[in-house]
Structure 1
């Protein structure tokens, strides 16, 4: 090795200052080229996003001029009427209700699975459960929709929904929320499918951030007599709350924009009712089921629905980013 180093040094000295300067310039050129390529890739993301926004605004502009603010406040959807009546209130309601119910179900289950895998699960069982979670994430959404339509929907309508309807029939508020009749296609069925679909996102991210907790912190907590629940509540969750919230917001964004699975099982009804067992629709389901048959002002109204979904998702992600920034600042203090 020493002989090779001496030979390399001799070669460099024999090369002279001109060849050495040319080699340095070649290195600089490669570094500058790499810098501009990566910068162009980053800027292309902004260009693509800007192009999507501009195309949505251009396509939705006829509907914006025709309906204005009333588009957000109208529940009726009658594109064949004369004149056409298009209102986004029904799809907006369905999108928010299904997403909220899905997150109410998925968050505790996902965190529970993550806590079990990192704190309580035997070593031999961790890998099978982890693989099962990854498989849930890899199943195409249309498979979820077909399973929900042929298996989950009938089961809920025949067994689960009648039980809840009878149990809460005389309870003032819950009686309205769980009012009948049972249905194969409903907001609740779609929300349950969404909960299953976003569960892997919450679980996988939570498992990863839970593993970053320094073992010494948990060992110190156990050493002073804390139980597993107390360690999770007072050490693991506070230490990883930023990552956990990030995973939850990622799952929420997935739930807001899901299309095919929801289209199969939600019923595609433009209505607003107090019961979660009634059919409904979401923005993405409405666009997917009607866009191919639309034209003119009708098509512009569907594009405006897409623009609303884009804006809604943007505000959700922006709020999540703001929340994470505040949590990071508090942690820094």
Structure 2
């Protein structure tokens, strides 16, 4: 065979073949529907951001950078900012997540790994129903029952850990019979507990779904090698469900940052930065909007829209950051079978 023919055939075999996919009508319709849904969501989010920016533009240009650093809220007097409410929003959300994440992981692990088969379906239904309870119900529960029940705990924390600045309470002296527990009411601590119990079912459902997808072969392999049930959970289930843990936590954080009614019913609004989480008085951006919206002047309404824009952007940054973290730690990527 001539050398030219051999070289031509070798070159032809080295060229990668192009694979063509023939899509049916159902695949085309599904792809079009999926793309349309994604574009619709992005369009709506963009329009929301543009709306908030346009409506809040007057307040933003009037306040300038002081809008981020000012604690007071008196737009009609030209002295306003979101420093206090932004700090309160982050404080309440942080307390909620610190409470919700261990509860969510524990609940999800128990349902997926340890609960009896007959009880598992009932627990799943109960957790899903708790996620559907309106926030006003949690707010009323926190206002009417939790506040009184949590006061002794808050007092005990301040008595024994008051040397830590965040647990110190102005006007409270441990052991003084004249000290009153009213200084512990309507605090960021109570609001954070209410919001934490609200976001726990949502985060727990997401984590449970991730844990239940852990490969059966890796589970059985770990048990066959002599691992205990808990050893199998720590070596296989938790690493596999890492993305679900992060996703559930960030979804809960987004819910905690934007919670309105439950926080509004529990807190006592103040417009100063309140670093003492056990002490009466805190605030949040969402509750500020709910409190002032009906009676706001035109300029104050612009300031409220600017505050809403700040919350919108903060939530977007958190969600985008979470998606990047999840993309780098896909479920099962680092499991130890």
| Range into which the TM-score falls when normalised by the shorter chain | 0.7 to 0.9
Matched residue, 1:321: 323
2:141 equivalent to 1:147: yes
**Separation in 1 of the partners of 2:211 and 2:317?**
27
Instruction: Tell me if structure 1 keeps the 8 A contact 2:105–2:204.
Output: yes
Which range is displaced more, 64-73 or 174-183?
Answer: 174-183
Instruction: Tell me if structure 2 keeps the 8 A contact 1:71–1:87.
Output: yes
Matched residue, 2:303: 301
Q: 1:272 to 1:133 in 2, by over 3 A?
A: same
SS at match of 1:292: coil
SS at match of 1:331: coil
2:273 equivalent to 1:272: yes
Structure 1 residues 1-333: aligned runs within 5 Å = 39-80=35-76, 83-157=77-151, 159-169=152-162, 171-173=163-165, 175-176=167-168, 180=172, 182-278=183-279, 279-328=281-330, 331=333
SS at match of 1:309: helix
**Separation in 2 of the partners of 1:314 and 1:228?**
39
Matched residue, 1:3: none
Matched residue, 2:176: none
Matched residue, 2:19: none
Count of paired positions: 301
Q: TM-score, normalised by structure 2?
A: 0.82
Instruction: Tell me if structure 2 keeps the 8 A contact 1:118–1:210.
Output: yes
Instruction: Tell me if structure 1 keeps the 8 A contact 2:139–2:261.
Output: yes
List runs of 5+ in structure 2 lacking aligned partners: 1-23, 173-180
**Separation in 2 of the partners of 1:273 and 1:49?**
32
Instruction: Tell me if structure 1 keeps the 8 A contact 2:214–2:240.
Output: yes
List runs of 5+ in structure 1 lacking aligned partners: 1-26
Which range is displaced more, 181-190 or 263-272?
Answer: 181-190
Pick the structure with more helix per residue. 1
Q: 1:154 to 1:134 in 2, by over 3 A?
A: same
Q: 1:53 to 1:264 in 2, by over 3 A?
A: same
**Separation in 2 of the partners of 1:55 and 1:87?**
20
Post-superposition Cα deviations, 1:32-81, rounded to whole Å, max 9, x if no partner, equal: 7886666544433333222211111111100111101111011112235x
Q: 1:168 to 1:36 in 2, by over 3 A?
A: closer
Instruction: Tell me if structure 2 keeps the 8 A contact 1:114–1:207.
Output: yes
**Separation in 1 of the partners of 2:42 and 2:229?**
45
RMSD of equivalent CA atoms: 2.5
Instruction: Tell me if structure 1 keeps the 8 A contact 2:75–2:303.
Output: no
Q: TM-score, normalised by structure 1?
A: 0.83
**Separation in 2 of the partners of 1:34 and 1:207?**
28
